[in-house]
């Protein structure tokens, strides 16, 4: 079993910076991981590819949600150049009753330094395939302040999500920590036969 996110604390309040130079506020008790988004044809993630924070949301039952503006500014991807899944796979996707677009893509989760939200660049990122696709909210109608990783993408890619209470200090203050593990022994779906 490979650990991808190891005892990451629920974050915030804090500020992080993305490659575009924008500073992003992390609110208290958010479960932050660093991700990259690519077209589905990538078999490896280039080292210079942009990384940005996303919230692991146990209440979001879909794949991955990002606004079109974040996709362009943070991931460096123009939505118009990405393949869209066929309608027979997606139907007419909506979020909160509003139409959204989908594209075929991969979400790469970057390993953290154990016990922190910081990136651990010693390990390769873990690729998640979004079926039927990555959900993109239109400009001006972001449905979430930060991109969301939903339960469907974790389940579809054979990942386990765990929230573990950790004693933080001598008076018994408890802190919740999140871990994500692959049930595939020491491999990501991209490396599997």
Whether the CB-CB separation of 107 and 35 falls below 8 Å is answered with yes
Residues of the chain with pLDDT under 50: 185, 187-193
The per-residue pLDDT for range 11-29, each reduced to its tens digit, is 777 888 888 788 988 888 8
User: CA 136: distance to chain centroid?
Assistant: 13
Q: Delimit the domains of the chain by residue range.
A: 2-182
Two structure tokens written together for 193: 């036969």
pTM of the model: 0.85
Vertex 54 angle, CA 145 and 91, to 5°: 80
- CA proximity to 119, closest of 17, 46, 187: 17
Architecture of the domain made up of 2-182: Beta Barrel (2.40)
User: CA 63: distance to chain centroid?
Assistant: 9
Residue 188: its pLDDT value, please? Answer: 47
Residues 6+ apart with CB under 8 A from 153: 62, 63, 64, 107, 128, 130
Helix (H) / strand (E) element for 164: namely: strand 159-167
Share of the chain above pLDDT 90, in %: 36
Phi, psi torsion values for 114, nearest 5 degrees: -50, 130
Residue 90: its pLDDT value, please? Answer: 61
């Amino acid at each position: 079993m490979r650990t991808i996110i190891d005892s990451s604390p629920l974050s915030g309040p804090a500020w992080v910076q993305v490659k575009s130079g924008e500073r992003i506020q992390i609110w208290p008790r958010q479960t932050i991981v660093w991700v990259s988004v690519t077209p589905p044809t990538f078999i490896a993630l280039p080292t210079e590819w942009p990384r940005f924070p996303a919230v692991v949301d146990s209440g979001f039952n879909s794949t991955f949600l990002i606004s079109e503006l974040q996709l362009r500014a943070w991931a460096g991807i123009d939505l118009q150049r990405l393949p869209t899944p066929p309608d027979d796979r997606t139907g007419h996707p909506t979020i909160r009753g509003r139409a959204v677009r989908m594209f075929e893509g991969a979400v790469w989760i970057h390993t953290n330094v154990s016990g922190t939200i910081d990136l651990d660049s010693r390990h390769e990122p873990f690729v998640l395939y979004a079926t039927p696709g990555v959900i993109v909210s239109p400009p001006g109608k972001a449905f979430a302040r930060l991109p969301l990783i939903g339960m469907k993408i974790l389940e579809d890619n054979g990942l386990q999500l765990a929230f573990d209470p950790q004693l933080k200090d001598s008076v018994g203050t408890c802190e919740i920590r999140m871990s994500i593990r692959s049930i595939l022994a020491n491999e990501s779906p991209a490396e599997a036969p």
